[in-house]
Amino acid sequence: AGLDVGLALTHSTRAVGRFAARVDRALSRRARNATLRITLRRVRVRRSRTGRDIDHLALAGRINAALEDPKASRVFRPTLVRVRAKFNANDLRRGANTVITIDRSNFKLRLFKGLRLRRTYRVAVGQPAFPTPRGRFQIQSKQVNPTWSVPNSPWAGELAGSTVVGGSAANPLKARWMGVSGSIGIHGTGEEGSIGTRASHGCIRMRVGDVIALFRRVPLGTPVLIR
């Protein structure tokens, strides 16, 4: 006579876990925050992208349970969960309301508000021997009638290492100062004939009336692109 032998089902939970992790990698997508794209002439927003995720541990649990039950379905539909970006385009428009770009080749400073060009100013930039640095910076400090801490450099002459009070005739930083990087900043100049030339020791010079107007519209932390 024949014997009825119970069928024993076994499986590797580790293999199931690895399979669920592969499904997760194949189907999941990271959310992407909106970002600013700043060029000398334009400020644009790269839109955010919603991500998606699955609970691979829950999926592995469902597969393990089904493998232990011969009658259970072998078809699984992982639940996709939408993952929102932390910052979208509207957040950037509100948070990055002001942007400055400085075009060294054409001696132009552009002011963007609400991602739109609002004003263009003529400026002077650094001499070939003392070039205005290129890169992405931000407004780090603001001062009215700034004190000049004279660098210990040969070009500073007998003033090297000294401090010149704001508003004095010997102070080349006229009216306003907006620090960009270390000793480099945007300031007014008494030598308005230098506007449109490479004349400074690295700073960005503006006409006094222009720098006063700009100062009022630029908060600390404003992004500054110099190229």
Catalytic residues: 187, 203
Tokens coding 226: 């110099």
Q: Please state, in angstroms and rounded to a whole number, the distance separating the CA atoms of residues 180 and 109.
A: 13
First to last CA, the chain: 92
Classify each residue of 49-75 as buried b or exposed e, where b means 16 or more C-beta atoms within 10 Å of its C-beta.
eeeebbebeebbebbeebbeeeeeeee
- 204-206, strands of its sheet edge to edge: 141-144, 174-181, 184-188, 204-206
Instruction: With CA atoms as reference, report the closest residue to 30 among 48, 47, 52.
Output: 52
